[in-house]
Chains A and B, each alone.
Chain A
Amino acid sequence: MTVQATDPAGGVPAETAAPPAARRDRLRFLRNGKTATGLAILGLFVLLAVAGQWLAPHDPSAMSDDVLQPPSLEHPFGTTQTGQDIFSQVLVGTRGVLVVGFIAGFFATLLSVLIGVSAGFLGGIADELLSAFTNIFLVIPGLPLIIIIASFLPDSGDVVIAVVISLTAWAWGARVLRAQTLSLRGRDYVQAARATGESTWRIIVFEILPNLTAVIASGFVGTVIFAVLSEITLAFIGVADISHWNWGTILFWAQSNQALGQGAWWWFVPAGLCIALLGTALSLINFGIDEFVNPRLRTAARVRGAIRMRVGFTPVARAPRPVPKGAGASEGSKAPEDSEGSERTEGTPA
């Protein structure tokens, strides 16, 4: 599935000049409803991560006499058993969640690019070894491993947890990148670069990597989702440092103080909804990237290829237009509009 993901589905029509097409493509990525929604929600959370500390109406750890209050104007998400304001805890906790998510995503992506691209580009015995290594880490269940490593460590601060998570989360991205590199390696423009005597590293950095941008980005976003879930899980079971506020810590205290039995739904619902909202936002961004590189996934009422058979009609299927070989992948994403257009005008049986 991933192999054909960035396969250029077609070339740029001869009459369209390349630069304006590229600009329009970039806008198109942002115009995609899913991406826009995802980015908007993510932006909101980033804002909270930066400013949460100042926006919080109360000190998240301060106790008060308002014990176990349901949501009110004074305490929008209610209070805990010791009278702490849950709204402030959620606001202040956003930073920890995002910091761990993005640090882990960054390191895991770095590892996956290093290992995946090297494996795909070098080939031979190096590929065999790196692939086996990747597959081993892919199959070993990540969460139990993270739990064990984290609980052996004397220090379980945010950065340490992020690094531990990234150590177990790189394998999926590496596998996808390897497959993608493998398919790029044989392309004409790479052969040409090699023939002109460019060094291996130059080819990887300037010829291969730019064409992997979308795959790397989607791998990064996927890893951030995984890292956020893992970190919250670690905090929830008490492995991570619970003196820092994050959404998992809130759930940890809710669980250990029997919030469920006391019917204090407001104690664990907001944090969970925030997790789900953040995860949804990141997934939406990833769908946008997927649809950007694989136009067939777009949810459109006009369905390409799925031809309904009806008596009395002869379905007409358009053959894909001849593709000029060697069209770059970034330019190639113009093609979907083109093929959809031809579908609209000629594909409908009258």
Chain B
Amino acid sequence: MKFVLQRLAFYLLTAWAAITINFLIPRLMPGDPVQSLIARYQGQLSSKSIASLETLFGLDQDRSLWQQYLDYWANLARGDLGLSFTFFPTPVSEVMAQSLPWTLALVGTTTLISFLIGTGIGIFAGWRRGSWLDGLLPVTTFISAIPYFWLGLIAISLFAVQWPIFPAAGGYDTSLVPGLDAAFLSSALYHAVLPGVTIVLSAMAGWILGMRNMMVTVSSEDYVMVAQAKGLPERRVMFSYAARNAILPNVSGFALSLGFIVGGTLLVEMVFSYPGIGYVLFQGVNAKDYPLMQGVFLIITLAVLAANLLADLLYVLLDPRTRKEG
């Protein structure tokens, strides 16, 4: 319990830091990019939305930095992230609400799948060191060095252009109305195959390497030897003794990998024009839509923190030492 509370406190601290960074970036940067954007949309912006943009980007010179900071938090508390210029005049929070479910579904599923498959292969490769599975290592190294988006480009050129099996872009058939019916869901699933496989392939390599190296380290521990000496079935020694301990760093290293995977996923979404947050970010970057970019950063960070908290809860289940008091 103490462990979980500690982690929770840490994530709250990190969330605060991310929000403060978000607040400071536009204020520390030279120039005033947002002012020109506002000027361009002068007639179409309501005074209320101008006020909220000024709060976001510190354009109001009369107020002290501290006062601006308090205003910024007040805006956040109301869920006001400013107006998007790309999707004018939709508020950023609304754009997020539309695109976040796509990203969560895509990243969540693919991360889970790649973690399970990668860890599984890693267990076998580490246990049977020197077998043919070691031949996989150079391949995984090569794959992990490929940028996600480039693998996506290759996937499109092979399976959407060369052999048009899968759609090259989009998240669903645009002739369908988004809803929870079978036709829409199957179309969404069909569109998710290529981006999903791309992410799984890219993300899996890291898990394989990490797990293999930990298995190699753990399998020479005394308790593994004792388990074998007791005559336990090899399967049981491998999974319940070696793998169970070897997996701990993989789970606690989840935090790092997740940030990396999310970054890669954003790019994959851009390549596939997938209606998630990455594609929104791409459009925001191209249009210099600062409120949108900052909103994306904030939402992504908060989502990553939440996922890390989940990984920590899993860690508590796996590692009894964290459950001990004191």
Identify the A interface with B (CB < 8 A): 1, 4, 132, 135-136, 138-145, 147-149, 151-154, 172, 225, 229, 232-233, 236-239, 251, 254-255, 260-261, 263, 265, 268-269, 271-272, 275-280, 282-284, 287, 290, 294, 296-297, 299-307, 309, 315, 317
Chain B residues whose C-beta falls within 8 Å of the C-beta of A154 in the assembled complex: 30-31
- Chain A binding surface, main DSSP class: helix
CB nearest neighbor in B for A2: B249
Whether A232 pairs with B147 at a CB distance below 8 angstroms is: yes
Taken together as a complex, chains A and B put the C-alpha atoms of A59 and B250 apart, in Å, by 47
Please provide the chain B residues from 111 to 136 with a CB less than 8 Å away from any CB of chain A in the complex.
127, 129-130, 134
Select one of B220, B288, B301 contacting A306, CB under 8 A. Answer: B220
Q: How far is the CB of A6 from chain B (nearest CB, A)?
A: 14
Q: Does B214 contact A (CB under 8 A)?
A: yes
Whether A143 pairs with B266 at a CB distance below 8 angstroms is: yes
Residue among B21, B147, B160 with the highest chain A CB neighbour number at 10 A: B147
Please provide the chain B residues from 273 to 308 with a CB less than 8 Å away from any CB of chain A in the complex.
281-282, 285-286, 288, 290, 293-294, 296-297, 300-301, 304-305, 308
Select one of B26, B216, B266, B297 contacting A296, CB under 8 A. Answer: B216
Whether B256 pairs with A138 at a CB distance below 8 angstroms is: yes
Could you jot down 27 A-B contacts, CB within 8 Å?
Answer: A136-B13, A138-B256, A143-B267, A147-B285, A147-B293, A148-B293, A151-B285, A233-B267, A239-B285, A251-B149, A255-B271, A260-B153, A260-B160, A260-B161, A263-B162, A272-B154, A275-B145, A280-B141, A280-B142, A283-B144, A294-B217, A296-B216, A296-B217, A299-B130, A300-B129, A305-B225, A306-B129
Taken together as a complex, chains A and B put the C-alpha atoms of A55 and B279 apart, in Å, by 38
Q: How far is the CB of B161 from chain A (nearest CB, A)?
A: 6
Chain B residues whose C-beta falls within 8 Å of the C-beta of A287 in the assembled complex: 141
* Residues A300 and B161 in contact in the complex (CB < 8 Å), given A140-B14, A141-B300, A152-B33: no
Whether B156 pairs with A144 at a CB distance below 8 angstroms is: no
Q: How far is the CB of B118 from chain A (nearest CB, A)?
A: 16
Q: Does B201 contact A (CB under 8 A)?
A: no
* Residues A152 and B219 in contact in the complex (CB < 8 Å), given A272-B150, A303-B130: no
Chain A residues whose C-beta falls within 8 Å of the C-beta of B13 in the assembled complex: 132, 136
Chain B interface size, as a band, is 35 or more
Whether A306 pairs with B234 at a CB distance below 8 angstroms is: no
Q: How far is the CB of B86 from chain A (nearest CB, A)?
A: 13
* Residues A144 and B263 in contact in the complex (CB < 8 Å), given A1-B217, A296-B220: yes
Whether A278 pairs with B145 at a CB distance below 8 angstroms is: yes
| 1/0 contact string of B68-95 vs chain A (CB within 8 Å) | 0000000000000000000000000000
Whether B145 pairs with A309 at a CB distance below 8 angstroms is: no
Q: Does B8 contact A (CB under 8 A)?
A: no
Q: Does B270 contact A (CB under 8 A)?
A: yes
Taken together as a complex, chains A and B put the C-alpha atoms of A309 and B234 apart, in Å, by 9
Known contacts A140-B21, A272-B150; 15 additional CB pairs below 8 A are A135-B10, A141-B258, A142-B263, A152-B290, A154-B30, A236-B267, A237-B285, A275-B147, A282-B145, A290-B213, A299-B130, A299-B137, A305-B220, A306-B127, A306-B219
Identify the B interface with A (CB < 8 A): 10-11, 13-14, 17-18, 21, 25-26, 29-31, 33, 127, 129-130, 134, 137-138, 141-142, 144-147, 149-150, 153-154, 156-157, 160-162, 168, 213-214, 216-217, 219-221, 224-225, 228-229, 231, 234, 249, 255-256, 258-260, 262-264, 266-267, 270-271, 281-282, 285-286, 288, 290, 293-294, 296-297, 300-301, 304-305, 308
* Residues A1 and B17 in contact in the complex (CB < 8 Å), given A263-B161, A272-B150: no
Chain A residues whose C-beta falls within 8 Å of the C-beta of B153 in the assembled complex: 251, 254-255, 260, 268, 272
* Residues A297 and B147 in contact in the complex (CB < 8 Å), given A138-B256, A141-B262, A272-B154: no
CB nearest neighbor in B for A281: B145
Whether A276 pairs with B146 at a CB distance below 8 angstroms is: yes
Taken together as a complex, chains A and B put the C-alpha atoms of A315 and B29 apart, in Å, by 66
Whether A144 pairs with B150 at a CB distance below 8 angstroms is: no
Chain A residues whose C-beta falls within 8 Å of the C-beta of B157 in the assembled complex: 260, 263, 265, 268
* Residues A141 and B228 in contact in the complex (CB < 8 Å), given A279-B145, A296-B217: no
* Residues A132 and B10 in contact in the complex (CB < 8 Å), given A236-B267, A317-B225: yes
Taken together as a complex, chains A and B put the C-alpha atoms of A251 and B168 apart, in Å, by 17
Q: How far is the CB of B224 from chain A (nearest CB, A)?
A: 8
* Residues A276 and B142 in contact in the complex (CB < 8 Å), given A1-B213, A139-B255, A238-B285: yes
* Residues A149 and B25 in contact in the complex (CB < 8 Å), given A141-B262, A296-B216: yes
* Residues A280 and B297 in contact in the complex (CB < 8 Å), given A139-B14, A296-B216: no
Chain B residues whose C-beta falls within 8 Å of the C-beta of A1 in the assembled complex: 213-214, 217, 249
Taken together as a complex, chains A and B put the C-alpha atoms of A154 and B31 apart, in Å, by 7
CB nearest neighbor in A for B298: A144
Taken together as a complex, chains A and B put the C-alpha atoms of A147 and B168 apart, in Å, by 25
Residue among A135, A142, A148, A279 with the highest chain B CB neighbour number at 10 A: A148
CB nearest neighbor in A for B129: A303
Taken together as a complex, chains A and B put the C-alpha atoms of A265 and B26 apart, in Å, by 39
Whether A307 pairs with B225 at a CB distance below 8 angstroms is: yes
Chain A residues whose C-beta falls within 8 Å of the C-beta of B160 in the assembled complex: 260
Whether B267 pairs with A309 at a CB distance below 8 angstroms is: no
Chain B residues whose C-beta falls within 8 Å of the C-beta of A142 in the assembled complex: 259-260, 263
Whether A301 pairs with B130 at a CB distance below 8 angstroms is: yes
* Residues A148 and B217 in contact in the complex (CB < 8 Å), given A140-B14, A233-B149: no
CB nearest neighbor in B for A294: B217
Q: State the 9 A-B residue pairs at the shortest beta-carbon distance, nearest first.
A: A279-B145, A305-B220, A143-B263, A141-B259, A272-B150, A152-B29, A276-B146, A144-B297, A301-B130
Select one of A145, A239, A263, A279 contacting B21, CB under 8 A. Answer: A145
Q: How far is the CB of A259 from chain B (nearest CB, A)?
A: 9
